[in-house]
Structure 1
Amino acid sequence: MATTKTTVGDIDPEVLRFTAGEDRTWDRELVEADCIGTAAHVVMLSRMDVDPPVIGTGECDAVIEALKDIIRADRAGKFRISEQDQDVHLAVERRLTRELGDTGRRVHTGRSRNDQSAVDLRLYTKRELLELLSETARLAGTLLDWGRERRDVPMPGRTHMQPAMPSSLGLWASAFAEGLLDDLDLLMHVYGTNDRCPLGAAASYGVPLPLDRELTSRLLGFSSPVHNVLHANHTRGKLESLVLAALSQVMLTVSRLSQDLMLFTMPELGYVQLPDDFCTGSSIMPQKRNPDVLELVRARTAGVLSAAGSAAEIMRGLPSGYNRDVQESKGALIKGLADTRACVRILQPLIAGMREDRDALLRGFTPGIFATDRALELVGEGVPFREAYRRVRRELRELDGRDPEEAVKIKDHAGAPAGLDWKVYRKRVRAAERFVRNHTTAFNDAVSDLLKAPWPELAPQSGDRKGAGKGV
């Protein structure tokens, strides 16, 4: 039977295609992370207290220069992961071996593709979460700006999609902003869980070498190593599930926001109008302005929720130690991060460009919407609530002519339409932005020191196209 020769043995071509699956596609996103992780591992090997050294100082420098060349090639679209490579790890090792000979063959000493995959995904997730945190804070800030400018604009509040009580555009917009701020808290917590280094766990059981895992963790800008080497690899799949669960919360917030806007822009309501350039037309109906962006946010929410459940299901029945099953959670994580970021990004200018129709909003104030306010007025006059409730229910028509703006102004307790604390909201946005700045700077500084080159810019070599700067 014909076999295909690979770095890790001869494999039946069908088995190779089946086991590699979509790994090569997803691993295109992990090239930079794999090179950074490998650089830290090689520096650690060069300082390891063994005689003779596994990697000499000069060899270490040569490996790091070669890794930077791989990053440059990847940014220029010139780095290839072949089917024989199977994944990014062996593709990078092949390139290093081709260029550096025996030095390249020693690079993998003391690690497995298990902990290598784990650190790559954590480095990738670190970058993506910081970007998502920044984008989510920006969307929350835009909602707050939009809502504060319209904090006194009356809007029918609804329950069961029916008119309920007087509300305001400010209350509506800041409710979704506060939802995103809560989601930011969760994302920052998940970032902290992700910010631990699994490298050095090898195949889950450590190695008989004096690896300095603390050093590797510091070089990569992690807060600490994952201590238990078996647990370090157990986090594969589980960490993806955790990140996707946090992404799901962001998506639930923006999906519900999108659903509201689809309803509010219906001609029957007409509360707001979306920017023209965020709507699409029809191939047959000339008049159409379709909210396709909002519909796709809603649909992609289902995809992220499904991915979170899928990652958890993959992990549910696995025995301890590495199992190839977790490979299937990689694509779910990468796509989930990409879809969540895309949805958050596109909603920010859409919200900023929305316009309200005050007349349409006021038309929604039917007499019954003031019923609860009137019942509570009667309570203030000494009428028991249930008696006031029944009296108002019998006399709804008498509520016609009430002033919606006045109804909004009198609700001034904490969190009500006229009692919103915009300063506290802004403080929370600034805290998230500060978190992103601090962690981004710390990571970029660590990688710059490791590669001895500015990160993420990584100045190109003479004749190379300038790097695209995919790093944090």
Structure 2
Amino acid sequence: MRLWEKNNTAIDKTVEEFTVGDDYLIDMTLIKYDITASIAHAKTMLKAEIITEDELKELMIGLQKLSTAVENKEFLIKQEDEDMHTAIENFLVLELGEIGKKIHTGRSRNDQVLAALRLYYKEQLLMLKEELVQLIETIIDIAKKSEFVPLVGYTHMQKAMPSSVGILFGAYAESLLDNFQIIEAAFSLNNQCPLGSGAGYGVSIELDREYTVQLLGFEKVQNNVVYVQNSRGKVELSILHALSMTMLDLGRIANDIILFSMDEFGYISLPKEFCTGSSIMPQKKNPDVLELIRAKTSVVQAQYFLVQSIVSKLISGYNRDLQLTKKPMIESFQICIDSVKIMNNLLKGIVINEDKCLKGFSAEIFSADEAYELVKKGMTFRDAYLEVGNALNNDEKSKHIVNKEIIVNNIKNKKNIGHTGNVGLEMIEEKISEKKEIVKKEKEVFHERLTNLHLHI
């Protein structure tokens, strides 16, 4: 029986299929969080004297049994259940009889689904932060080992100035590290407990919402009951923005490595186990992993605009449109976390080919540096720029390869903050070490809180 169904209710089968869609399948990802939130709600009902201690014990046993069945893949939500909320209550009624009918007291599916989503988002964001820490550590390791390996710097996809492998990979690490600020802002916005707000206009029984916060480990109560529903979409977009920015970095790394691993460059060699082949050309070693990361960047960005489009036209309060925001969230988390993991594994196996990096250098790449040498002797920059530029036009040797010593000295002598001779890898390393400890503690607290919730009656 559906939670909204009355004795005289009849629904056309096509309406059921259309309104439910694949939501009952999507809810299998979320049901364990709905069970957890249901346990917290049951304990809050005991505190409000809505149920007795014996009834709480019965509900806890029933919910634990369901949790085990879900974990062992012995329970499936059916289309006729409509969603996980109905499936949970139907299970409890079947197991416990009348006591099972009490689980929905003082709540709506509107705040129930939000609680499950917030817990799911919280765990996924913690997983993302943990994987990002590992990826950044790998990138820093590459940067340190190849800190002064010369690499041509490009603007407009044309040779520009001397650069290095160290500063390029340092840039990747610093950019990914900056994403923590965006992720943590989304994490904080999400870390508010919606339970107790009902359908969006409160409930007529006294529930200790602060107590529910403590049980579930949220940072605070989400105060305004109308805003609880209005925030659905806003929280999602904040998270999707964080995921999009992470994928933006991964897409750029993928693009760079695809380019630099081409035979025409050869600066980087990819691990063979991360390449695929061609069905017709035996020699091919294709960078499919990197190409898919690049493409999946666009998928996550598209999911952001999908959710934004869905929620931007809604009036205040719950609207069924919001059902369609669940799938893009789950898919985007999976894409982003999987992409971070596989990028980390791939980067551990790359080889920097220093000889080929050096072959990319020719004399004209030092033009800006030569102009500044003239500035140091008293010439204005504009005159120096013109003198070097005119000399280049008349110098057939400008395309000649220069020796390694000149290139490496050029790189090492640029010691301004963040330059090739002073990349600041130790600073990034220190920051990511701090993040690692914070994320470890956050995960421990989150899982300990939820484990205790399930264990203690």
TM-score range, shorter chain: over 0.9
**1:428 Cα shift?**
1.7
Deviations 1:405-451 (A, max 9, x none): 11101111100011112221012212221221222122112112211
Q: Provide the rounded CA distance (Å) in 2 between the counterparts of 1:430 and 1:277.
A: 30
Deviations 1:335-372 (A, max 9, x none): 00010001000000111110011111011101111100
Match among 52, 66, 70 for residue 74 of structure 1: 70
Match among 200, 211, 215 for residue 211 of structure 2: 215
8 Å CA contact retained: 1:240, 1:330: no
Match of 1:105 in 2: 101
8 Å CA contact retained: 2:147, 2:167: yes
Match among 424, 431, 434 for residue 431 of structure 1: 434
State the one-letter code of the partner of 2:334: A
State the one-letter code of the partner of 1:34: D
State the one-letter code of the partner of 1:22: D
Which ranges in structure 1 are unaligned for 5 or more consecutive residues? 454-472
Match among 409, 412, 415 for residue 412 of structure 1: 415
Q: Secondary structure at the match of 1:81?
A: coil
**1:6 Cα shift?**
3.3
**Structure 1 residue 452 and structure 2 residue 455: aligned?**
yes
Match of 1:144 in 2: 140
Q: Provide the rounded CA distance (Å) in 2 between the counterparts of 1:79 and 1:237.
A: 29
State the one-letter code of the partner of 1:427: E
Q: Provide the rounded CA distance (Å) in 1 between the counterparts of 2:144 and 2:193.
A: 42
Q: Provide the rounded CA distance (Å) in 1 between the counterparts of 2:71 and 2:138.
A: 32
Q: Provide the rounded CA distance (Å) in 1 between the counterparts of 2:430 and 2:226.
A: 41
Match of 1:457 in 2: none
**1:24 Cα shift?**
1.2
8 Å CA contact retained: 1:217, 1:224: yes
Q: Provide the rounded CA distance (Å) in 2 between the counterparts of 1:173 and 1:449.
A: 42
Q: Provide the rounded CA distance (Å) in 1 between the counterparts of 2:337 and 2:417.
A: 32
8 Å CA contact retained: 1:233, 1:321: yes
Q: Secondary structure at the match of 1:84?
A: helix
Q: Secondary structure at the match of 1:420?
A: coil
Match of 2:313 in 1: 317
Q: Provide the rounded CA distance (Å) in 2 between the counterparts of 1:185 and 1:137.
A: 13
Give the structure-1-normalised TM-score: 0.92
Alignment of 1:79-158 (within 5 A): 79-158=75-154
Root-mean-square deviation (Å): 1.4
Match of 1:58 in 2: 54
State the one-letter code of the partner of 2:313: G
Match of 2:232 in 1: 236
State the one-letter code of the partner of 2:447: N
Q: Provide the rounded CA distance (Å) in 2 between the counterparts of 1:422 and 1:356.
A: 18
Match among 217, 239, 248 for residue 244 of structure 2: 248
Q: Secondary structure at the match of 1:79?
A: coil
**Structure 1 residue 286 and structure 2 residue 271: aligned?**
no
Q: Provide the rounded CA distance (Å) in 1 between the counterparts of 2:243 and 2:363.
A: 41
**Structure 1 residue 386 and structure 2 residue 382: aligned?**
yes
User: What is the aligned residue count?
Assistant: 446
Q: Provide the rounded CA distance (Å) in 2 between the counterparts of 1:208 and 1:7.
A: 19
8 Å CA contact retained: 1:23, 1:86: yes
8 Å CA contact retained: 2:229, 2:316: no
Match among 212, 221, 226 for residue 225 of structure 1: 221
